[in-house]
Structure 1
Amino acid sequence: MSDAGDRAVSVIGFIGSVFSPWYRWAGRRDPANHCCMNVATYGPGGRFTMTDRGRAALRQTEDTLTIGPSSMHWNGRQLVITVDEIGAPPKVSRVQGTITVTPEAITDVEVALTPDGAHLWRPFGPTARIEVDLSQGHKWQGHGYFDANFGTRALEADFAYWTWGRFPLRDGAACFYDATRHDGTHLSLGLHVDHAGAARVIEPPPMTRLPRTPWVLRRETRCDAGFKPRQVMAMLDAPFYSRSMVETRINGEVSLGVHEALDLARFAKPWLKPMLACRVPRRPGWTFKD
């Protein structure tokens, strides 16, 4: 998020593009054949890109992930993301440039989201600075976040619904992960990470409702009792997924952070996949020029 609070960006490198209808229709048998660099910018000139690419577009080394024309490179101190993607309809145009994420520290935290460890979350850098230099006027600096998820089963196979939030604080950042699993159990995690990367589990504030999205998606977030959280910016609004900039209060401190809500029971509906295909084109072929 920008320091001014008027722009934001999200980048997800997928190997096994979990939200791609093409991956689902292929039976999720070959993750490398459904890779993607999902780049979305928010605020004036915002664009959404999510191209499902084949294994010919994927290259990996210990410190670099390349998917077609875009890449992520860890230089030992920063994650440098080079972007060259095409926006999805109705705003079909190139999204090009560089994003640099500089974590204040790297954590060693790994969280199992299911008891058997089939889904893992790694919040590598919950406190970071970000510098954005992209097309459509997205040239700004702000505070950022760097994490990863790993899984051996489809998300909708194990989860019905979840919310996630990351909120910067004076002494670091707080992350909240709440999930309802299909087996009837729940995950309710509060994690605080200070500026040196030291992490500790915290008691989450009460769960508080947020207004439903235009797709009538249920939303809730962690918030001190007596404070009313509010959406400051709508970012991504899909039938099954919401990402937004939300103001809440945590242990007496008001914070503006990023919040996500994901209805995986709705995502599992077959009628949704053709809708997604209109926003997620499939490009199986690729040739590197070197």
Structure 2
Amino acid sequence: MDAISACGTRALSVIGFIGSVFSPWYAWSGRRDPANHCCINVATYGPGGRFTMTDRGRAALRTDDGALSVGPSEMRWVDGKLVITVNEWGALPMVTPVRGTITLTPQAITRVELPLTPDGAHVWRPFAPVATVDVALEATGWQWQGHGYFDANFGTRALEQNFDFWTWGRFPVTDGATCFYDATRVDGTRLAQAVHFDHAGQAIEITPPPLQRVNPSLWRVHRETRGDAGCAPRQVMNMLDAPFYSRSMVRTVLDGEATIGVHEALDLRRFRAPLLKPMLAVRVPRRAGWQFQD
């Protein structure tokens, strides 16, 4: 899930992984046991922002019909709301606690599944593309409300086996939200998907507006998104900047309406580079021995 504060000065992202696709430890293991490399990744953006992504072992994983627990953090559906309890430590160089509760309230739950490859090896599932979010973390200034979404990706192969590059964006508009998925697969074929979701959760495939360039990230990751002809999308907040990945708040124009949403660009050609994995290990510690105490 991602969320942006109503004032537009803060944002956050929470991702639950079973088989932590960006973990160097999972890659080095040969990706044979996804449950032995699980994680709840929490990143906060804005004043006092922190990044947490601890790779944990099988003993730290619990699932049931309405919950995912990884170590001391948990995602749980409660009365139609997704309640995320966070109890993590920030990665280097900001090794401080990240604790509190995040509550996402969907306006509706969709039934949409989008295969990202022809054989269905990768699937995008936008559960709640229109939602409100209440943030109550312990850090000063990290109590706010905003808008966000909740989605999931499922895959049976490593991302870099099937994709060279992709961009994704979710942009709130007056009558709901519009999402774009653009990808170049390793075989040279392309995905260009645009879906509009209304407040009732109904999904309509739309003709994608033109691709528009966005300035490269600080690591010079190529970026592009969709927008009306003649518009010039631009970054309004840098959220996460890595050698292979960019997450940011981007302003574009859709059907004449200016909108700011969360955008990501992923360069899997860079991610394949062997030297990248030791760099990632600094930010993604491995805690294989964590166990529940009850």
Query: Do both share a fold (TM > 0.5)?
Result: yes
1:156 aligns with 2:163: no
- For the residue of structure 2 that corresponds to 1:60, the secondary structure is strand
Aligned residue in 1 for 2:252: 248
Aligned partners of 1:287, 1:59: CA distance in 2, in Å?
A: 10
Aligned partners of 2:159, 2:128: CA distance in 1, in Å?
A: 23
Unaligned runs of 5+ in 2: none
Aligned residue in 2 for 1:99: 102
Amino acid in the other structure paired with 2:78: N
Which one of the candidate residues 158, 161, 168 is aligned to 2:172? Answer: 168
- For the residue of structure 2 that corresponds to 1:23, the secondary structure is helix
C-alpha distance after superposition, 1:169-199 (max 9, x if no partner): 0000000000000011100000000000000
Aligned partners of 1:53, 1:287: CA distance in 2, in Å?
A: 9
Retained in 2: the 8 A contact 1:165–1:177? Answer: yes
Listed as ranges, the matches of 1:211-250 within 5 Å are: 211-250=215-254
Aligned residue in 2 for 1:266: 270
Aligned residue in 2 for 1:46: 49
Aligned partners of 2:250, 2:196: CA distance in 1, in Å?
A: 18
- For the residue of structure 1 that corresponds to 2:261, the secondary structure is strand
Aligned residue in 2 for 1:199: 203
Amino acid in the other structure paired with 1:63: G
- Return the TM-score normalized by structure 1: 0.99
Aligned residue in 2 for 1:65: 68
C-alpha distance after superposition, 1:104-145 (max 9, x if no partner): 000000000000000000000000000001132211000010
Aligned residue in 2 for 1:13: 16
Aligned partners of 1:57, 1:287: CA distance in 2, in Å?
A: 5
1:276 aligns with 2:253: no
Unaligned runs of 5+ in 1: none
Aligned residue in 2 for 1:33: 36
Aligned partners of 2:190, 2:230: CA distance in 1, in Å?
A: 25
1:147 aligns with 2:151: yes
Kindly state the Cα deviation for residue 159 of structure 1 after the two structures are TM-superposed. Answer: 0.1
- For the residue of structure 2 that corresponds to 1:278, the secondary structure is helix
Which one of the candidate residues 123, 127, 133 is aligned to 1:124? Answer: 127
C-alpha distance after superposition, 1:6-40 (max 9, x if no partner): 00010000000000000000000000000000000
Aligned partners of 1:288, 1:24: CA distance in 2, in Å?
A: 25
C-alpha distance after superposition, 1:71-120 (max 9, x if no partner): 00012410000000000001110000000000000000000000000000
- Return the TM-score normalized by structure 2: 0.98
Identical aligned residues as a percent: 68
Paired residues, number: 290
Amino acid in the other structure paired with 2:228: D
CA RMSD of aligned residues (A): 0.6
Aligned partners of 1:155, 1:283: CA distance in 2, in Å?
A: 24
- For the residue of structure 1 that corresponds to 2:160, the secondary structure is helix
- Runs in 1 of length 4+ with deviation above 3 angstroms? none
Listed as ranges, the matches of 1:128-139 within 5 Å are: 128-137=131-140, 138-139=142-143
C-alpha distance after superposition, 1:29-78 (max 9, x if no partner): 00000000000000000000000000000000010100000000012410
Range with greater deviation from structure 2 (280-289 or 61-70): 280-289
Kindly state the Cα deviation for residue 248 of structure 1 after the two structures are TM-superposed. Answer: 0.3
Retained in 2: the 8 A contact 1:46–1:136? Answer: no
Aligned partners of 2:47, 2:258: CA distance in 1, in Å?
A: 25
Retained in 2: the 8 A contact 1:206–1:225? Answer: yes
Range with greater deviation from structure 2 (131-140 or 178-187): 131-140
